[in-house]
Amino acid sequence: MELILGFLVLLSCLIIGVRHGGIGLAAISGVGLLIFTFVFGYKPGNPPIDVMLTIMAVVTCAGFLQTSGGLTVMLKYAEKLLRSNPKYVTILAPITTWFLTVLCGTGHVVYTMFPIIYDIAIKQNIRPERPMAVASIASQMGICASPASVAIVSIVAFMAMHGYNYSIVQILSIAIPATFSGVVFAALWSLRRGKDLDKDEEFQKLISDPKQKEYVYGDTESLIDKELPTTYYRAMFIFLAGIVVIAIFGSFPDLVPHFSAAAGKPPKALSMTVMIQMLMLTVAALILLTCDVKAKDVGNGSVFRAGMVALISVYGVAWMADTFFDNHIALLKEFLGQTVTAYPWAYALVAFFTSKLVNSQAAAIAIVVPMALNVGVDPVIILSFISACYGYFFLPTYPSDLACIGFDRSGTTKIGKYVINHSFIIPGFIGVISGCCVGYVLAHTIL
């Protein structure tokens, strides 16, 4: 009975908190902690300090990338690729948004791409819903394939905390092809979705009004012809070089400094989470010193703000969840451990619906991964279903999906009459399910 009541408190805090955004979720999690401690008598768990420090370093670096203009260069190249191959925008747009997220560690880069994707599609008489909806899905799927994302650094840190020293390269060797496969399958399905514009009665009625037609087919500002300062390019190359260095250290642990933990014991390699922290801060410093960046401007960038919100969210929700699960670990090991052993896909369902509940892959990982590791779930299963950490497309409430609808001036990307029949749900399910299938095969082959 106590377990059920405690779970209801946890669930209520998540539901109430998510309505107020990431920072609100952290604040409400504090209420849950007080209830667990003073009402249920639970010993407070431990906030994931190593995870939080790693997130801080990565977010700081990403903030410097945006402020320096390095992100603008990436967007310029992405636009150039799409406008050079306009007929294939339904395939190339999601691949591009996925790749941008992988490079930058945040799906928020997609907002700049939406008007470009729309402009290319409408000028080619391609139903804008086809590339735009799947591009929104792809931008979020790339989060769990990025070495610079909060989600991936959290998984690396949680694994290390439980004694599983998988390198970031090992994790990405599963996550990158798994999520990319999901994006490609979703894009292929999107090629024929919906009616062609010339056969869509609703669209034809819309453009029968000259003013509406001008609005629908209006031009979008382009980055291609803009001359960008040399420092923008320098910042981009410094950032990408940092990602490469992280991959090298992750692949060759002998290159990492080793230190003796105690007398008589062999030296141990420096933790990869600490390496990521140091390297990300160093990359940020190099951008600061060589690319005419004002440090005070970094805090005003959308990437930095979104990252810090994710950090605070992870802090609160992970601490609350750890407190609840740690005080019921024996029962959970017996039930959840046996269930996931018998039905591995059960972990994927838990990750999927937790992600939807908290509207964040990082927050879902902060709840589900430590709990799964504590009850004895094979880490291979956790990495197999990494794509399942993206479930918040289920209802069209996420900012990127709402922005996508807003940027589609043709009205083809939309929320249906029954809410759940929206433009993102089918490509979302295709992407996640196929990503999980590919991830399952790769994880059991590689690890």
| pLDDT average, residue stretch 109-120 | 89
Q: Which long-range contacts (CB under 8 A, 24 or more apart) does 250-258 make?
A: 250/167, 250/168, 250/169, 250/170, 251/167, 251/169, 253/167
Contact (Cβ atoms closer than 8 angstroms) between residue 207 and residue 213: yes
- The SS3 assignment for 299 reads coil
Q: Tokens representing 305?
A: 């703000």
Which of 427, 367, 339, 309 shows the shortest CA–CA distance to 7? 367
Contact (Cβ atoms closer than 8 angstroms) between residue 270 and residue 259: yes
Each domain of the chain, given as residue ranges in start order, spans: 2-446
Residue 195 reports pLDDT greater than 90: yes
Residue 233 reports pLDDT greater than 90: yes
Q: Give the pLDDT band (50/70/90) at residue 262.
A: low
Residue 40 reports pLDDT greater than 70: yes
Sign of the Cα pseudo-torsion (207, 213, 215, 220, in order)? positive
Residue with the bigger pLDDT between 306 and 265: it is 306
CA atoms within 13 A on the CB side of 300: 7
How much of the chain exceeds pLDDT 70, in percent?
99
| pLDDT average, residue stretch 115-136 | 95
Strands of 95-251, DSSP E: none
- 8-state DSSP, 375: T
| pLDDT average, residue stretch 406-424 | 89
- 8-state DSSP, 263: T
Contact (Cβ atoms closer than 8 angstroms) between residue 386 and residue 155: yes
| pLDDT average, residue stretch 182-188 | 98
Residue with the bigger pLDDT between 358 and 286: it is 286
Beta bridge partners of 259: 268
| pLDDT average, residue stretch 191-217 | 92
Beta bridge partners of 258: 269
Residue 336 reports pLDDT greater than 80: no
